Amino acid sequence: MLTLGFDLTILNVALPTMAAQLEASTDRLQWIVDAYIVVFAALMLPAGLLGDRFGRRRMLVAGLAVFLLGSLAGALTDTPGLVIAARSVMGLGAALVIPLGLSVLPSMFGEEERGKAVAAVTASMAAGMPLGPLVGGLLLDHYWWGSIFLINLPMAALGIAACLFLLPESRDPSSPKVDPLSTAYSALGLGALVFGIIEGPGHGWTSGWVLGAFALAALLLTLLTVRERHAVRPMLDLALLGRRVFLLNTLAATLGTFVFSGLLFLLPTRLQETDGHDAFGTGLRLLPMMGGLLVAARASTPLVRRLGPRPVVATGLVVLCFAALLGSRTGPGDGYGFTALWLTIAGFGFAFAMVPAMDAALGGIAADEAGSGSGLLMTLRQVGGAVGIALLGSLVADTYADRLDTTGLPAPAAEAARESLSGAHAVAERLDLPALAASADAAYLDGMSVVLVVCGAAALATAVMTALWLPNPRPAAGPDTTSPEPSPAAGPSGPSPALPGHGPGEGG
């Protein structure tokens, strides 16, 4: 899980370097990030079910091996297309590892140790997120861009050895069978949706390719919904979305992932290309957001115990809105101090919205629905991350291309400058045009400002819905001494019924 936590953030600091060394345009960079997320989101549920039926240790080893091979291939390639293919393979490995990494715990630990085990595993992944930009920055300052993939090899190999020698085999033969047709619908439908969003700025939003991709996505996802709603034991229990507490908390968590993933995609380019920081310096400058997130994640639990989830989630979304609108005021001459301020506030908003929302979403469903509920929540969050990178990246690309001044440039040079910020800087350096570099920096900042305003508006709208309609079950003030019977349902302050079964297919 530490390996995969690294991979969630280590790539982001490498994107500007990859754009320059691989001559990758903005849409290729979006695919390098999104290929992993799309495959992961589409295959996570069936991968978890395969582990339940055929052995979780076996599938964990297979997942780590696939992730290792994908990392090796990514490090040795030299074109954006091959990197995208390697990232897709890594997404397949992650789809096996992440759900099964938690679902093995109930078979290994008793009730008194299980909470500690879950905390240790999830903390490992959380620790990898802030370390990723720092480690990635150090590697990029001393080695080539492929080194960010090579670091996965010894960590994945160690994980494989630990699974083979220390992990007992476990399975759940009664889990639902993998539905190949539903799996194909979800993978192809999500892929078509992301393709349409990413390719829109380049091909035109009304082009046949883009409209066809959106139509195909709508058709496939509709077929998936119909099939899953009529399945006896669905992989995606979409009926859970009919429950207000699950729907609104899932919406809040998905929005947080949408904004968080989009910002991690866009910020490194701004810090490196516009502000001139090296890769390690970029990693350091992302830490305020990670720090705010980790601190607020710890502080959210006592607040939920005292106030209930609704005010905490709604306030977190309002804080996120404020941070986004504050960040949209960033100008070309502003120093890093202003950026660090709104990034820290954004980290607080993310954690206060996402952590209680996820706990309340899973805490409001029965124990026998914990596996399907956690699987649906994780899938929608990953879809939110993929769409966030695609949509927000395309919005920046559109704004950047519209506002970049390429007057007087030859057509090939103008096209290269419009494709990406690093392309514009390369053209400006080659032709000795400092005005072009300044125009590119200003255009990219304009694009980020538009994105942040959109994020702020979405956060505010979700906060209003949460405040108006989200139920707010208040935890009991203390144990009920008048009756020996336990409470029939755990409140948000107690252990989530889904805690042992975050992995899809785990019945709680």
Ordered DSSP codes for 242-289: GSHHHHHHHHHHHHHHHHHHHHHHHHHHIIIIIT---HHHHHHHHHHH
Task: Tabulate helix, strand, coil % of the chain (nearest 5).
Answer: 80, 0, 20
Token pair 């990898």 is found at 128
Residue 432, SS3?
A: coil
Q: How far apart are the first and last CA of the chain?
A: 20
Is the dihedral angle over the CA atoms 353, 354, 358, 359 positive or is it negative?
A: negative
Provide the angle, in degrees to the nearest 10, between the axes of the packed helices 111-142 and 80-103. 160
Per-residue confidence (pLDDT) for residue 470, from 0 to 100: 83
Token pair 């380049």 is found at 202
Q: Could you tell me the pTM of the whole model?
A: 0.75
CA distance 482 to 167: 44
The closest alpha carbon to 94, from 140, 145, 30, 159, belongs to 159
CA distance 483 to 453: 52
Alpha helices, DSSP H only, in 143-278? 147-150, 152-166, 180-203, 208-230, 244-269
Per-residue confidence (pLDDT) for residue 496, from 0 to 100: 33
Per-residue confidence (pLDDT) for residue 485, from 0 to 100: 35
CA distance 453 to 370: 36
Per-residue confidence (pLDDT) for residue 489, from 0 to 100: 31
Per-residue confidence (pLDDT) for residue 182, from 0 to 100: 85
CA distance 154 to 488: 47
Q: What is the pLDDT along the chain (508 residues), one digit of tens a residue?
A: 888 777 777 787 788 888 888 888 777 888 888 888 788 877 777 777 787 778 888 888 999 999 999 999 999 988 888 999 999 999 899 888 877 776 677 667 776 776 567 667 766 766 676 677 788 888 888 888 888 898 889 989 999 999 899 888 877 666 667 788 888 888 888 888 888 887 877 778 888 888 998 999 999 989 988 988 888 777 777 777 888 888 888 888 888 888 887 787 788 888 888 887 777 888 788 888 878 887 887 788 788 888 888 899 999 999 999 999 999 998 877 788 898 999 999 989 988 888 888 777 767 666 556 556 767 777 788 788 878 888 888 888 889 989 998 888 888 888 888 888 888 888 888 888 888 988 998 999 999 999 999 999 999 999 999 899 888 876 554 444 333 333 333 333 333 333 323 333 333 3
CA distance 177 to 299: 40
Q: What is the dihedral of CA 339, 456, 358, 90, to 10 degrees?
A: -60
Residue 495, SS3?
A: coil
Token pair 């399945």 is found at 231
CA distance 341 to 346: 9
